[in-house]
A and B are shown apart, each in its own frame.
Chain A
Amino acid sequence: MRHFWRSYTLLLRWDFLRRRRILPMIVFIQLALSVGVVYGLAFLMPDVNGKSALYLSTGAPTLSMLVLGLTVVPQEIAQNKLTGRLDWMSTLPVPRLAPLASEITYWLAASLPGTVIALVVASYRFDFGLQVNAAVVPALLLVAATSAAVGYGIAVASPPQLTQQVSSFVGIGILLFSPVNFPAEQLPAALQAVHRVLPVESMADIVRWSLTGQYVAHPATAFAVVTAWCVAAMALSVRVATRRR
């Protein structure tokens, strides 16, 4: 554990140092994305009622983490593959999970200001109050870790030239066809069935519940589903990343 912690903190330092020049821009883009989701998607709905507003606002953090994990992280990994950085990192004597954990932490930290500000903006825009509970920390961590682990696995397993296409496709799918900013009942039956298997709805549920304390029938089940996906995605990502050709 000590070796893991030491490797993790050193890798995290490396990740922050190497991107220090672009960090302000990343934070700004994440902020614009989160606030944009709250404001922009509301234009698509002529009459935003209380429930819709709440779904839009509390869905924004989940959406931000999903976009981060499933589009930004894979593109970053693809770039690392092309430059040889990924192979070089594989020669370092660090625990297998440490680079992934450091990558997730960096992007989580970079997106956090945007997430918090978007929620504040949303509560003013739609005039409702949040009831944040302590579960918000594990909820956000789980959502970020799960999506980044899946994104990491996609990037490591696919050719770098294809990663951008795959991650863009996944990003659009999540934005338009996932019950994050709206209730699952609004989707066609077939997509509802797909989302009973995928963790996206549960991800949105645990974040929504941790921010409002309501609108979710079974928060414990949702947490269990996301945790199971997180463990499986991490194990698979590490397995794919360390598989030798």
Chain B
Amino acid sequence: MSLLEVRHLTKQYRGGVLANDDLSLDVRAGEVFGLLGPNGAGKTTLVSQVLGLLRPTSGQILLDGIDVARNPDVARRSCSYQPQGSAPLEGMTPVEAVELTGRLRGGDKATVRRRTEELLTALDLDAWRGRLVPLSGGVSRLVAFCMAAVHPVRLAILDEPTNDIDPLRRRLLWEQVRRLADDGTAVLLVTHNVAEAERCVDRLAIIDHGKVQVTGTPAVLKERLGGALRLEVSLDVGVPVPRLPDYLTAPAVAGRRLVAQTSLADAGRAVGWARDAQSHGEIAEFQLSPASLEDVYVRSVTAREEDADAALLA
């Protein structure tokens, strides 16, 4: 049975903005569930409703089978939250902030102290544990994670937990996120970082314009691309984006980087085209590799935008 069930959730703000539109998903105990989507997709609105801070316009959110809209207290008892912005750390040392949060969540002094030490050590934060000076953005986010993880809860909601964190501690953080789930907590991970999500999540949903575009495990979602390959091309400065043949589909350009999809059958032709373009100076480098979750993400988000463009032209 799912721990969190979101059923046909719609949230329309007073100004008329439709933030969530008939959205459904479920998160099970012991899994890391990724919630991916571009800015303004409706992720934070969904999280605020799960936490009982916003009231749904229609639909249901069930936590352990209990309706959160009718019983917002159940969300406060069952959920811990790492906000996307800064956690309330001002004037506090990391040890004080984490211990007080654990105790406010109902933990006893000795257990909370032990768990605080464990988390700070696991995330290599010992050097900052008693510091009152302003902490860097990355250290603040790690402490905010500790505040969300210090006391066992049914659902931990982590909003962009790895922003500003250095690569080594980022790895340590993912280990702790995994451990939370292994201990039975359902983890709802809100992120833009698709590459990291691919390594860490068990299942995910990509939402855009308030709707779930796709949901499933990373493996299943990649399979749905049709066993596709991705051709990644880097361009020299000042060189225009080359015209692509029709067997290179769903192109996405980010800076000097171009990614397009192709099928296994067209792999030879794609490499031939890339070599030819490279020899003519149209592209700098290229790489053909199996499709990634990023390709699923780009396709899910851009497909909807293309649909909208088509509708406007029609």
Q: Which A residues contact B (CB, under 8 angstroms)?
A: 7, 10-11, 13-14, 17-21, 80, 83-85, 87-94, 242, 244-245
Given A84-B86, A93-B73, A244-B52, is A11 in contact with B104 using a C-beta cutoff of 8 Å? yes
Further 9 A-B residue pairs, CB within 8 A, beyond A18-B90, A93-B73, A94-B104: A10-B103, A13-B100, A14-B92, A14-B100, A20-B91, A84-B86, A93-B105, A242-B72, A244-B53
Q: Is the CB of A88 within 8 A of B91?
A: no
- Which of B14, B51, B100 is within 8 Å of A91, CB to CB? B51
Please indicate the chain B residues that have their CB under 8 angstroms from the CB of A14 in the complex: 92, 100, 104
- The majority secondary structure among interface residues of chain B is loop
The answer to whether A93 and B54 touch (CB under 8 A), given A83-B85, A84-B83, is no
| A18 and B91 contacting across the interface, CB-CB below 8 Å | yes
Q: A24 to chain B: closest CB distance in Å?
A: 13
Closest chain A CB from B292 CB (angstroms) = 33
User: Is B106 interfacial (CB-CB < 8 Å)?
Assistant: yes
Binding site for A on B (CB under 8 A): 13-14, 48, 51-55, 72-73, 75-77, 79-81, 83, 85-88, 90-92, 96, 100-101, 103-106, 132
- Total number of residue pairs linking A and B with CB closer than 8 Å: 72
A95 nearest CB neighbor, chain B only: B73
A83 touches which of B72, B88, B100, B104 (Cβ 8 Å): B88
Contact of A245 among B55, B79, B100, B105 (CB under 8 A): B55
Known: A91-B79, A92-B76, A245-B54. A85 touches B88 (CB 8 A): yes
Given A91-B53, A93-B77, A244-B55, are A10 and B104 neighbors across the interface (CB < 8 Å)? yes
A99 to chain B, nearest CB (A): 10
Give Cα distance in the complex from A50 to B87, angstroms. Answer: 53
Pick the contact of B104: A18, A92, A244, A245 (CB < 8 A).
A92
- The docked-state distance in angstroms from the alpha carbon of A87 to that of B55 is 14
What is the chain A residue whose CB lies nearest that of B79? A91
Across the interface, which residues of B come within 8 angstroms of A17, CB to CB? 91-92, 96, 100
Residue in A closest to B52 when the chains form the complex, CB atoms: A244
